[in-house]
């Protein structure tokens, strides 16, 4: 995957102008944060073939072996919006469906899942008046209890085309897609473990509201609105 191969699928796209493709980087999100601070415009995209310090949600790392994933970040200059991570999940799901025929489910709030294993993670970060949306898709090589890849799932794909499709779908994100998120979100309607601030509680997920927060009923019948933390679903990532 090179800048040229990605651009060949982005002819005339408004975000094609500010595409950066790197062989290796610590984290595309971190790299783009620095560009954002230096004034990079809306729609700047950074892709790397390898990340030595790929970052995940909740302070976790995101394993990013060379040539085996799509590690991509995009800079948005717009008002912060809690719906951006769910909207990005819908965008990347659409791109994967379009390019591979696979139809991932969404595990709230930021994972795309196939066969109960993680295929893609999304990390949205605020940086002054800029927002960085980072996408990590496992393309090949990864197969263990918790994660899978396009290759392991038997999907044919071209990383450059997939990158271009992800960029195009991200450029078309809209709050109108929240209903699509709910349609494919496997967390809604499940009994889950809520992990927040070092505690674990059991709950049932009743619904998701229009901002992307989960509406849950706790064991004692109390209702709560959840917009952060980890929500573990039975049978997912080895949690049974």
> Applying CB under 6 A, which residues contact ligand BTN?
27-29, 51, 54-57, 60, 62, 71-73, 110, 121-123, 134-136
Output 37 or 218, the one with its CB closest to ligand BTN.
Answer: 37
| 55 within 8 A of 29, measured Cβ to Cβ | yes
Residue with tokens 């950074």: 46
Q: Give me the least distance between CB of 55 and ligand BTN, in Å please.
A: 4
Cross-strand partners of 110:
none
| 31 within 8 A of 132, measured Cβ to Cβ | no
Output 72 or 139, the one with its CB closest to ligand BTN.
Answer: 72
Q: Give me the least distance between CB of 114 and ligand BTN, in Å please.
A: 14
Q: Give me the least distance between CB of 96 and ligand BTN, in Å please.
A: 15
Taking the C-alpha atoms of residue 230 and residue 119, their distance in angstroms, rounded to an integer, is 17
Output 110 or 177, the one with its CB closest to ligand BTN.
Answer: 110
DSSP, collapsed to helix, strand or coil, labels residue 107 as strand
Q: Give me the least distance between CB of 51 and ligand BTN, in Å please.
A: 6
Output 35 or 204, the one with its CB closest to ligand BTN.
Answer: 35
Output 140 or 218, the one with its CB closest to ligand BTN.
Answer: 140
Q: Closest Cα to residue 48, out of 74, 76, 67?
A: 67
Output 60 or 204, the one with its CB closest to ligand BTN.
Answer: 60
Q: Give me the least distance between CB of 169 and ligand BTN, in Å please.
A: 16
Q: Which residue is nearest to ligand BTN (CB)?
A: 121
Q: Give me the least distance between CB of 47 and ligand BTN, in Å please.
A: 9
Cross-strand partners of 233:
192
Cross-strand partners of 224:
216
What distances in angstroms separate CA 139 from CA 42, 68, 124, 152, one per listed residue? 27, 5, 21, 8
Question: What contacts 154, CB < 8 A, 6 or more positions away?
Answer: none
């Amino acid at each position: 995957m090179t800048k040229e191969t990605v651009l060949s699928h982005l002819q005339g796209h408004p975000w094609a102008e500010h595409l950066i493709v790197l062989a290796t980087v610590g984290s595309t999100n971190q790299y783009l944060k620095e560009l954002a601070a230096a004034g990079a415009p809306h729609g700047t995209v950074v892709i790397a073939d390898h990340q030595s310090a790929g970052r995940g949600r909740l302070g976790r790392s995101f394993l990013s072996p060379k040539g085996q994933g799509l590690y991509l970040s995009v800079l948005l200059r717009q008002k912060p919006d809690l719906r951006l991570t769910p909207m990005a999940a819908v965008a990347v799901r659409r791109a994967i469906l379009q390019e591979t025929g696979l139809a991932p489910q969404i595990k709230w709030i930021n994972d795309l899942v196939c066969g109960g294993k993680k295929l893609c993670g999304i990390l949205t970060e605020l940086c002054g008046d800029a927002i960085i949306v980072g996408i990590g898709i496992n393309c090949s090589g990864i197969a263990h209890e918790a994660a899978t890849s396009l290759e392991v799932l038997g999907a044919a794909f071209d990383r450059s085309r997939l990158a271009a499709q992800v960029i195009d779908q991200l450029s078309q994100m809209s709050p109108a897609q929240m209903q699509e998120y709910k349609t494919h979100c496997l967390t809604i309607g499940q009994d889950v473990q809520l992990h927040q601030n070092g505690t674990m509680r059991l709950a049932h997920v009743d619904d998701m509201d229009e901002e992307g927060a989960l509406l849950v009923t706790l064991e004692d019948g109390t209702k709560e609105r959840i917009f952060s933390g980890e929500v573990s679903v039975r049978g997912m990532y080895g949690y049974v």
